[in-house]
Amino acid sequence: MTRSTICWLLGSGIVALATFAACRYDPVPQDLIDGLGEEPGEPSELHRAGQPCLACHSVYEGAEPRMSVGGTIYYEASDGRILPAPEVLVEVTDSRQVTRKACTNAAGNFWVEHEDWRDVSFPLTVRAGERRMISIVGRDGSCASCHSLPDEASLDPVTGAGRASAGVVVVSESDVGAICVPSGGTTSSSTTSTTSSTSSSGGGAGGEGGVGGGTSSTTSSSSSAGGGSGGGGGA
């Protein structure tokens, strides 16, 4: 089937969401992506903190690596500032009780590659550091789809109060900077204890300056680029 046929089918409402990707001009994701602004420098694992990673790291936009889950974690420093939270363990469990663990990098970013979690089954339960999200994630792997940074449109011009968002994910200062060991590409929670060896071979987990952010050995080559800048909590 050609791309134009698929797009025609999509236009006539026959084809399911999965074929969105074939139609590069789909207005819904495209508007979202356009609204995120230009890349300020080279894309890297530290980029676009607070943004919905899967808008681009998806079949639709095709940014590599494709992700199943991704987001940014912050913490509140003692002086009240909201800062990126490195080395926080994020645990995501799907409806089949399969769990993936990932560590945040120096930008507070974390992700699980699609390659490591192809059959993720929504809804998801989520934990970051010691904070558990009470509600579940129904269908969107981007934390920032709900946990977004405030922008002018979401702030009340008079009171400065934000609307339409759960706010960014904020963990406690004590959750930050511990040695974080992601689970990599394991298949279930029962095997996570055996996976630290895989992840450490990736070089992203723990260690000095190795903030990483990779959730598997496949991300480790890029994680060294971000290494060294985190770990201290930034405050």
Residue 128 binds to ligand HEC (criterion: CB under 6 A): yes
Determine the interface stretch with ligand HEC among 2-10, 13-21, 68-76, 198-206 (rule: CB under 6 A).
68-76
217 contributes a contact to ligand HEC by CB under 6 A = no
Site for ligand HEC in 157-176 (CB under 6 A): 166, 169-170
Contact by Cβ (8 Å): 72, 84: yes
Options 51, 58, 93, 195; binder of ligand HEC; rule CB under 6 A = 51
Regarding 44 and contact with ligand HEC (CB under 6 A), the answer is: yes
Q: 145-184 in b/e burial notation, b at 16+ Cβ within 10 A?
A: bbbbbbeeeeeeeeeeeeeeeeebbbbeeebbbeebbbbb
Q: How distant, in Å, are the alpha carbons of 23, 86, 105, 205 from that of 227?
A: 37, 11, 8, 10
Cβ proximity to ligand HEC, 15 vs 142, nearer residue:
142
Q: Is 37 helix (H, G, I), strand (E, B) or coil?
A: coil
Query: What pairs with residue 113 in β-bridges?
Result: 67
Which residues would be at the binding site for ligand HEC (CB under 6 A)?
33, 36, 43-45, 47-49, 51-53, 55-57, 63-64, 69-72, 90, 92, 109, 111, 126, 128, 131, 133-135, 137-138, 140, 143, 145-147, 166, 169-170, 222, 225
